[in-house]
Structure 1
Amino acid sequence: MKRGLLYLLGATLLAACGGGGGAGDSTGTSPATDANDVACTGQCATADTLLTEADVRQVLARGVHQAEVLGAAATIAVVDRVGNVLAVYRMGAVGAGNDVTISTRFPTDISTGLEGIVLPVAVGGDALAAITKAVTGAYLSSEGNAFSTRTANQIVQEHFNPGEQNQPAGPLFGVQFSQLACSDFTQASAGISVGPQRSPLGLAADPGGFPLYKEGTPVGGVGVIADGRYSIDSNILDTDVDLDEQIALAASFGLSAPLDRRADRITVEGKVFRFSDTDFADLPADPAQATDFGSLADNGQLLAVPGYSNGQIVAGTAFGQPGSGIRPASGFAGLDAFVFVDAANGNRYPPRAGSDTAELAGDAFSAAEVRQLLGSALTVANRSRAQIRRPVGSQARVTVSVVDSRGAVLGMVRTRDAPVFGADVSLQKARTAVLFSSRDAADFLRGITQPAQYLNPDLSPAAQVQIGSYVDAAQTFIGPQALTDGTAFSDRAGGNLSRPFYPDGIVGNPAGPFSKSFLNNEWSVFSTGLQLDLAFNRIIEHVAFVVGLSGVDVVDNCAQSSAPRIANGIQIFPGSVPVYRGDTLIGGIGVSGDGIEQDDMIAFLGLHEAGEALGGSINNAPVALRADQLTPGGTRLRYIQCPQTPYIDSDTQNVCAGK
C-alpha cells in the first residue's frame, strides 16, 4: 500500500513539473517524434508504418522467451491498429494451457452477468482473452496517448480510482462492452480486411495487453493470457507482479510505447493513470536476448481462430490508408477529417437524410443538416484542448456519429489520430441518447421478450433476466412516466442511472435502475445491468461459434429486437445528446475520443453551433425537456458537463452555459 501511494505521489509531482518529459530508460521503446524530430500528433502514420510479418514474429518470440523463463504456458495474440488479428500463438503441446475463467474475484462469488464463465482452452477459449487484450491496447491508444489494459482497468470500475471509497465511477465506465462481435459497425474477418474489426469479449481490463508502436505511431497491440484468469485489479494502490503483464511487456520490447505518451504521463482529475506495474528492468530475462521465432517449432503452435485468424502470421495494415478502413475525407474542407471506408474505398457513412420520414414527415433530418452537424462538431473538436493526450495542449481527437430517431446511421466522421475505440462507442452513445429520449422507449425495451440467459461455469443455463424489468425499475425510481414522456436523456444522464450507487460513487446507496446491485453482490465490470443484459445472449452466441459449439456466428444486432435501434449496444458514459427540431426528437449525436467532458462539449456545442449555422432548424433539447429537470431520490440528474476553459485559442470559460 505504501509503495503504491508513493508511486502516485511521485507521478503526480512529475506531471506537475512538465508531465515527465520522457524521463526514464527508453530502451525497447519507440520515439515520440517523426524522422524530423517533430513531436507525433497524428502526422507520423504513413503508408509504410505497419507491423510486418517479421515484426509479428519478433513479438511472439520475445513473449515466448519470457514465458519460458517464468515457467508459464502463454497464449499470445498480435493485432494491427484496426484490430486485424495477425497471429495467435499458444505455447505447449496441442490442447495444453489453462482454461480461462471470467471473474473479478477468485473464488467467484457473483453469479450474474459473465461472472464465473469458463472458456475452455481445449476449444480455443484462451485465444478469445488474448485477442481481446491485444485489441484493447491498440484501440485505446494514439500518437498522443498509450493506454494498456491496466489503464483500462483503472477507468471502468465503480470508483475512480478503484479502491477509493465514495469516489465516482471511472470516466470510461461501461466501455468494456463496446467493439462487440454483434455490432453492426465493427467488421468481421479471419484475414486482413478493412477495419475497425470486432473484439470477441469487448475491451479488456485485465493486465496483459499493450499497444505496439513504430516511429511514434501505434501500429497494433499484443495480448497475453497465461494465468487462466480474465479479471481486473481491484486495488491499484499497490504494485503487482502480474504474469500476463510481464510476458506481454517483454513481447512489446522494441515496439513499446514512447515513454512520453504512456498513460503514466497523463492525469485526469489530478490522478495519474497506470500503464504497467512492470518495467523492462524488472523482467527476469532480457527480451533482447530472445531467440528467433523460427527456433520455436517445438514450443507451441499458431492457432486458427474462427472469425479472427486462419492460423498464419500476416502483416498488418497501414493506418489512415484505405486498406485500414480509415482514410482522409472529402467534403469537410479545412477540418482534417477522416472517414470509414469499405473494401472498395467507398465511404461507409456519407451524410444522408433520415430514414424516419414516415414518422416525422418534414421534420426528419436532411442530408445537408447532417453534414453541417458533423462539420460543426469537428470544428469544436479542433479548437478544444484534449484531456488525455500529449503534448499537453494538443487538440482533441474524436469520432462523431449522427443517427436518426430509429437509430439509423446518418453520418460518421473522425479527426486525425482519434483512438479507434471511439468509433463504435460514439455510435453507441448517439443511439442510447435517442432511445432513452423516445416516448416509446419503455415499449421498445419491454418488447424484447427474449431474456438474458445467464450461464453456469460449465455453460449450462442458469438464471434469466427480463429486459422489461429494467423499465419497471426505472418507473419505480423516477416515476411512472419514465421512458414514456419524452424526457431528453444525454448519455451522462442515462449513465447516472446506470451506476451501482446512486448518487454515483456513494458507498451504501442503492443502485440506479439500469444497474445491477452492488449491495446485493450482483454488480461487477462483468455484470453491469441493462447494458450487458441487452447484449448478453449475442456475446455468448459469438463465443459459442468461435469455440466450435455452434456453426452459426452472431448476427449484426446486439439487442434481440426486431428494430435495430441499438444494433451495437448501448453506452453508459458521457458524450451524447439527442437532436431536436423545436421540441420534436429527430435523432442524436455521439462523440468519443479524448476525454468525457470534451465529448460532452463537442456533442452539445457542435449541435448548438450547427443550429445557428442552419438558422435554427435543429437544436439541443429545450431546457424544460432535459433530464436534469429530474430529481430521483432527491438528487438532480446531470445533462452535460463541459470543461471550464476548453479552447486552445481562447480563455473563454463556461462555454456551454445558457445554451
Structure 2
Amino acid sequence: MKPRWLAWPLAALLAACGGGGGPSDDSGCTGSCATSNPQRLEVADVQRVIAQAVDEADARGALATIAVTDRVGNVLAVFQMTGADPALTVRSGRNTGTGLDGLTDVVPSSLGAIAKAVTGAYLSSEGNAFSTRTASQIVQDHFNPKERDQPGGPLFGVQFSQLPCSDLTLRLADATSAGPKRSPLGLSADAGGFPLYKAGTVVGGVGVIADGVYGLDLDIRGNDSDLDELIATAATAGFDAPQDRRANRITAGGLSLRYSDVGQSQTATGGRSTLTFAQASAQGSLLSVSGYYLAPAIGTGTRFGQAESGYQPSTVPAFADLDAFELVNGAPRFPPIAGTDGLLTQAEVTSVLRNALLNANHLRAQIRRPVGSLMRGTVSVVDTSGVILGVLRTRDAPVFGTDVSLQKARSALFFSSPTLGADLNAAGSVSYFIPDLGTATTPPVSFADYATALSAQLSPATLTGGFAFGARSIGNVARPFFPDGVEETGPGALSKPFARWSPFSTGLQLDLVYERIVQHVGFVAGLGVPDVGVGCSGPPAPALGFATTVPAKLDNGLQIFAGGVPIYRGNTLIGAVGVSGDGIDQDDLVAFLGVDGAARATGTLGNAPRALRIDTLDVPGGRLRYVQCPQAPFVDTDAQNVCQGK
C-alpha cells in the first residue's frame, strides 16, 4: 500500500502547544510551539541559570566554569568562579595516548563548558530532551557500553560534528545571531550539559566544568554522583526539560536512554536557590572566550524558527506544502542550485529535497515523544566536489542534524568517489600532541595506511569508485571491531585497534581534522596561533608542525554513522544526500527513498545501481550494510519493507 501523501492533512503535521517550561510530565509541545509561542532566553534567565550553578558549586566546595548558549549555539555568557581550573584534561578512561585522549591542562575549561551547553541544546527538541550523558551512551564501542558482542552506539562518531572548522556553521566573527554556531570541541559526551526549556520548547543549553576532566561514562550500569552534572542540574531549575520528553522516556534498539543520574532532589540547593547574579558575581566573573564570547555583556537568545535564529519557514515555492524550514542569514543560505560540476540540475536537487521531506512528513519517529510523532530531520545535497546544493529541514528538527546531514552526504560521496584512494594518499599524515601542544610526540599516522587497510579488508576497487558506499557502510568499517561489536576480532579498516581507540580517537574520522581542532584550541588558549579557516580542507601549516591536507570533499569533516547515500545517473556518480535528526534507520530511509522518489519524478537520476552497492561484496566477517530501513515505518499506512527491491 502506497503512503497517502496527498491525503495527509497539514493540520496533522502541526501539534497544539501547551504551557509550562518546568519539570512538568508533558509540556504538550510536539514541534509547533517554537513558532506559535516564540520563546528565548532573556538576560535575567541567563543570570538565574549562572547564579543557581554558582550556588550549587559553592555549597559543594567546588569551583566551576559555566557556559550558557541559546538553541542555535550563540554563547550568551561564560562565568568562571575565582580559583577555578583555567584548563582541563581530556581523558577517556582508557589511557590510549592517541588523538585528543590525554591532552592535559591545555584545553581552556571554558571550551569544555561551551561544548557541553551546545550539546544539550543541539541534541534536543520539543519531542526529545537529550543531555551530554545521553551522548556518552550512544557514541561508544558497544550499545549499551560494556555489553559485549553488541554493536557500537547508534550515533557513533557524532562527537566530531559542529567542528570549529566547519564551512556550514557560523562564528562570532560573522556578527550575526543566526546559527547554527560551531562548537570548539564538537559535541560532548561528558556529563554536565543539559538543554534549557521555556514553555515546552528548547531555548538553549548549559554546560559546567568543575572536576577538571573532560571525559565520558564508560560504565552506565550504576548511577554516578558526578560533580559537573550536579551543578548543571541545579542550574536548570525553572528551565528543566519536560519529564515526558527526557531521554529516559525514549528507547533505541529496545534499550532505554539515559538523561541524568541525578535530579533536583539530589542537589545541595534542592532546586530552590535564591542566590542573585549580583551575589554570585562576588565569587567569580564573566570570562571572554576568543571566538565565542565577549565579556561583560550577557546576551539575549534568539527565537528559534524566526529569521534571527538562522532558521525560518522555507521561501522556496516548490516546498510550500511541506511545512519545511531553511537556513537563513539575511537571505536564504542554501536554496536549491545546480551542481558546480554540471551534473545535477537545480530541478533534480529540488526533487531530491522535496521527496526526502515527503517521506519524513509521514515517517514514525524513533526518538521523539509522544509515541507516534513524526520524524524530524535535516536533508543536505552535495555535488561531486562536496559543494552544498541545498539544505532543507522539517519543523523542530534537532539543530545537530544540520551539520551532520551535510557530513553524511559528503562522506557517502567521498567513499563512492573514483578518487578515494588518491585523496587519502594525498592527505599526508598526522601526529598527536600528547600531553600538551608543545611538540608532536607520537609517530606520524599516514593516511595512505587507511587506504591500504580498506583495500585489503574489502577490495582494491573501493579506492577507485568501484563500489557505492552508504554512510552506514562507512560506519561498518570505522568501528574498533569488525564485525561491529565482536571483541575477538580486529578493527575496521578506518578505525584504530581497540587498545588505541576511544571516543576521543576514532581513527580516520578524527585524524583528518585533528590538527584543525588542536590549532583552534591553541588559538583560544592564547598560544599565538591563528584560528582555523572556514572549511576544514586546505594545506597543512608546517610552521605549526602540521602535515595533514584535508580533502576538499570533507570541508566539515567525516561522519561515520548511517543516513547518507550517493546519487547516480546510470553508473556515474553525480552527488549525494545526507539526512540527520532522528533514529539512524529513519535517516537511512529518508535519504534512500528521497533519491528513489526523485528518480520516479524526474527519470534522470537514481540510487546506486545494485551491482555497485558495497553490500554486494562478500568479505570475511560478512557483508557491509548499504542502508537499513524500519520495517513498518509510516504513520498513515501499513506498508512494510518499503526500501526492499529499490
State whether TM-score is above 0.5: yes
Q: Quick one: which of 558, 561, 570 aligns to 1:582?
A: 570
CA contact (8 A) 2:34 2:303 kept: no
* 1:161-200 superposed matches below 5 A: 161-189=144-172, 193-200=177-184
CA gap of 1:634–1:279, structure 2 versus 1, over 3 A, is closer
Task: Please give the per-residue CA displacement for 1:236-295, whole angstroms capped at 9, x wherever unaligned.
Answer: 110000000000000000001000100000011111000000011111222322311011
Q: Any idea what SS the aligned residue of 2:405 has? A: helix
CA contact (8 A) 2:382 2:409 kept: yes
Does 2:348 align with 1:354? no
Q: Any idea what SS the aligned residue of 2:203 has? A: strand
CA contact (8 A) 2:138 2:156 kept: yes
RMSD between aligned alpha carbons?
1.5
CA contact (8 A) 2:161 2:403 kept: yes
Does 2:487 align with 1:507? yes
Q: Give the residue type in structure 1 aligned to 2:283.
A: N
CA distance, structure 2, for counterparts of residue 239 and residue 509 of structure 1: 31
Match of 2:17 in 1: none
CA distance, structure 1, for counterparts of residue 410 and residue 304 of structure 2: 27
Q: 1:501: Cα distance to partner? A: 0.4
Match of 1:572 in 2: 560
Q: Quick one: which of 336, 344, 347 aligns to 2:323?
A: 336
Q: Give the residue type in structure 2 aligned to 1:208.
A: G
Does 2:23 align with 1:29? yes
Does 2:202 align with 1:218? yes
Percent identity, aligned pairs only? 53
Q: Any idea what SS the aligned residue of 1:462 has? A: coil
Q: Give the residue type in structure 1 aligned to 2:353.
A: L
CA distance, structure 2, for counterparts of residue 465 and residue 39 of structure 1: 48
Does 2:102 align with 1:116? yes
CA distance, structure 2, for counterparts of residue 48 and residue 436 of structure 1: 41
Match of 1:488 in 2: 468
CA gap of 1:570–1:27, structure 2 versus 1, over 3 A, is closer
Q: Quick one: which of 335, 343, 351 aligns to 1:372?
A: 351
CA contact (8 A) 2:71 2:205 kept: yes
Q: 1:468: Cα distance to partner? A: 1.6
TM-score by length of 2: 0.93
CA distance, structure 1, for counterparts of residue 423 and residue 179 of structure 2: 31
Does 2:583 align with 1:598? no
Q: Quick one: which of 359, 367, 387 aligns to 1:388?
A: 367
Q: Quick one: which of 39, 44, 59 aligns to 1:54?
A: 44
Q: Quick one: which of 605, 620, 626 aligns to 1:639?
A: 626
* 1:354-503 superposed matches below 5 A: 354-357=339-342, 364-449=343-428, 451-459=429-437, 460-463=439-442, 464-503=444-483
Aligned length: 611
CA distance, structure 2, for counterparts of residue 119 and residue 201 of structure 1: 15
CA contact (8 A) 2:123 2:398 kept: yes
Q: Quick one: which of 501, 511, 524 aligns to 2:502?
A: 524
CA gap of 1:341–1:28, structure 2 versus 1, over 3 A, is closer
Q: Give the residue type in structure 2 aligned to 1:609.
A: G
Match of 2:597 in 1: 609
Q: Quick one: which of 250, 257, 262 aligns to 2:246?
A: 262
Comparing 550-559 with 111-120, which one deviates more in the overlay? 550-559
Task: Please give the per-residue CA displacement for 1:99-138, whole angstroms capped at 9, x wherever unaligned.
Answer: 3110111xx6211110100244xxx700000000000000
CA gap of 1:31–1:42, structure 2 versus 1, over 3 A, is farther
CA contact (8 A) 2:420 2:465 kept: no
Task: Please give the per-residue CA displacement for 1:312-343, whole angstroms capped at 9, x wherever unaligned.
Answer: 2111111011111110002202100000011x
Comparing 109-118 with 169-178, which one deviates more in the overlay? 109-118
Query: Where in structure 2 are there 5+ consecutive unaligned residues?
Result: 1-19, 539-548
Match of 1:555 in 2: 533
Q: 1:192: Cα distance to partner? A: 5.5
Match of 1:20 in 2: none
Match of 2:645 in 1: 658
Q: Give the residue type in structure 2 aligned to 1:148.
A: S
Q: Any idea what SS the aligned residue of 1:639 has? A: coil
Q: Give the residue type in structure 2 aligned to 1:598.
A: Q
CA distance, structure 1, for counterparts of residue 29 and residue 122 of structure 2: 21
Q: Any idea what SS the aligned residue of 1:591 has? A: strand
CA distance, structure 1, for counterparts of residue 269 and residue 535 of structure 2: 46
CA distance, structure 1, for counterparts of residue 398 and residue 579 of structure 2: 12
Q: Give the residue type in structure 1 aligned to 2:645.
A: G
Q: Any idea what SS the aligned residue of 1:195 has? A: coil
Match of 1:361 in 2: none
CA contact (8 A) 1:30 1:254 kept: no
Task: Please give the per-residue CA displacement for 1:583-642, whole angstroms capped at 9, x wherever unaligned.
Answer: 11000000001110000000001110111011x201000000000012222411111100
CA contact (8 A) 2:59 2:268 kept: yes
Q: 1:457: Cα distance to partner? A: 1.1
Match of 1:139 in 2: 122
CA contact (8 A) 1:47 1:321 kept: no
CA distance, structure 1, for counterparts of residue 255 and residue 44 of structure 2: 38
CA contact (8 A) 2:128 2:246 kept: yes
Match of 1:618 in 2: 605
CA contact (8 A) 2:21 2:241 kept: no
CA distance, structure 2, for counterparts of residue 411 and residue 247 of structure 1: 41
Match of 1:546 in 2: 524
CA distance, structure 1, for counterparts of residue 384 and residue 80 of structure 2: 46
Q: Give the residue type in structure 2 aligned to 1:217.
A: T
